[in-house]
A = this chain, B = another copy of it.
Amino acid sequence: MTLKDYAALIDARLAELLPEAEKKIPDTDEIPWLLENAMRYSVMAGGKRLRPAMLLACADMLGVDRAEALLDACALEMIHTYSLIHDDLPGMDNDTLRRGRPTNHVVFGEGQAILAGDGLLSYAMELMLQNAMAYPEHSARHILAMNDIMAGAGVGGMVGGQCMDLYCEREHISDERLLSYIHVNKTSRMLTSPLRAAAALAGFAPDSPETTALTVYGVKFGLLFQAVDDILDVVGDEKTLGKSIGKDAEEGKLTYVTLYGLEGARKRADALAAEAKDSLAIFGDRAAFFVKLLDDMTHRVA
């Protein structure tokens, strides 16, 4: 199974969970058509499905029944999508385009976009709970998996990272320790929780060697993701927009490139990839998907 294979599985299930809805008065307990369509618009806007694919691939690696992990994977993608919808709002980044399409609030209006985000976070939790109820013999495992996902997405995770990111931007603060908090919490945590959740579903304790190894991988992978983003930002900008490292540095923007220079950032990325790969030793050949993922990430061009 490649990343694309997993993405196809997830796309299919997401499309079932959020079908295109016709306008009608909803029954009590029913999702209104407008909310469903607004949620669907952003969830089905494409994307690599990296986070849910990592959950499913890890579940496969650890011998979890894929059907038992699929709803949690979809929930994770919904949480990722809610964060993008809210991030794009006028009160946050005020972005009007994402993946080449108008952002949610441009299409549905600001109020409905806020609710589409709230709805996706809520629906994610509802789906994970329904999934947990479908496997009563694994209640404790599902609670632990949900806890990993919500800890990564929540106030000491992604939301906390977003808060500090917005704060630094608005107050023009560039502090290396704050930047590290933002990178780890905004990016790495949501790339670590899929692996921890899969380990929980497989019955591994949070402090087991397997879960610990996966956590190290997730954190390193997240930082690698960020480093490559920073590099592409400059390389891409130089080619297309004429922006330079100097400009980011002038603006006081802290990135891997402004911190270490372009070559230094590339070296740091290679080191992170090597460290992440080392952490997979415990899984031997079964970790092939995650070894390849590091390679793909290091060499991606967009």
Closest to A157 in B: B29
Q: In the bound complex, do residue A121 and residue B119 qualify as a contact, i.e. CB atoms below 8 Å apart? A: no
Q: In the bound complex, do residue B112 and residue A129 qualify as a contact, i.e. CB atoms below 8 Å apart? A: no
Q: When chains A and B are docked, how far (Å) is the Cα of A140 from the Cα of B164?
A: 36
Please tell me which one of the listed residues B92, B105, B126, B177 contacts residue A25 in the complex, with CB atoms under 8 A apart: B177
Closest to A26 in B: B181
Q: Which of A115, A164, A175 has the most CB of B within 10 A?
A: A115
Q: Does A299 contact B (CB under 8 A)?
A: no
Q: In the bound complex, do residue A175 and residue B25 qualify as a contact, i.e. CB atoms below 8 Å apart? A: yes
Q: In the bound complex, do residue A91 and residue B119 qualify as a contact, i.e. CB atoms below 8 Å apart? A: no
Q: Does A264 contact B (CB under 8 A)?
A: no
A23 to chain B, nearest CB (A): 10
Q: List B contacts of A166 (CB < 8 A).
A: 111-112, 115
Main secondary structure of the interface of A (DSSP, over half): helix
Q: List B contacts of A136 (CB < 8 A).
A: 140
Identical chains bound together, number: 2
Q: When chains A and B are docked, how far (Å) is the Cα of A283 from the Cα of B111?
A: 42
Closest to A159 in B: B119
Q: List B contacts of A153 (CB < 8 A).
A: 122
Q: Does A185 contact B (CB under 8 A)?
A: yes
Please tell me which one of the listed residues B31, B83, B139 contacts residue A160 in the complex, with CB atoms under 8 A apart: B31
Q: In the bound complex, do residue B133 and residue A114 qualify as a contact, i.e. CB atoms below 8 Å apart? A: no
Q: In the bound complex, do residue A28 and residue B184 qualify as a contact, i.e. CB atoms below 8 Å apart? A: yes
Please tell me which one of the listed residues B34, B89, B118 contacts residue A91 in the complex, with CB atoms under 8 A apart: B89
Q: In the bound complex, do residue B143 and residue A126 qualify as a contact, i.e. CB atoms below 8 Å apart? A: no
Flag the segment in A60-68, A144-152, A236-244, A267-275 that touches B. A144-152
Q: When chains A and B are docked, how far (Å) is the Cα of A112 from the Cα of B34?
A: 26
Q: In the bound complex, do residue B34 and residue A163 qualify as a contact, i.e. CB atoms below 8 Å apart? A: yes
Q: When chains A and B are docked, how far (Å) is the Cα of A296 from the Cα of B63?
A: 56
Q: In the bound complex, do residue A112 and residue B25 qualify as a contact, i.e. CB atoms below 8 Å apart? A: no
Q: List B contacts of A28 (CB < 8 A).
A: 181, 184-185
Please tell me which one of the listed residues B109, B126, B167, B175 contacts residue A147 in the complex, with CB atoms under 8 A apart: B126
Q: In the bound complex, do residue A146 and residue B129 qualify as a contact, i.e. CB atoms below 8 Å apart? A: yes
Q: When chains A and B are docked, how far (Å) is the Cα of A28 from the Cα of B112?
A: 32
- Nearest first, the 5 A-B pairs at minimum CB distance are A91-B110, A139-B139, A122-B154, A35-B163, A129-B147
With A29-B151, A31-B160, A117-B118 given, name 12 new contacts (CB 8 A): A27-B181, A82-B118, A114-B114, A115-B162, A115-B163, A119-B159, A119-B160, A119-B163, A122-B153, A122-B155, A142-B143, A143-B143
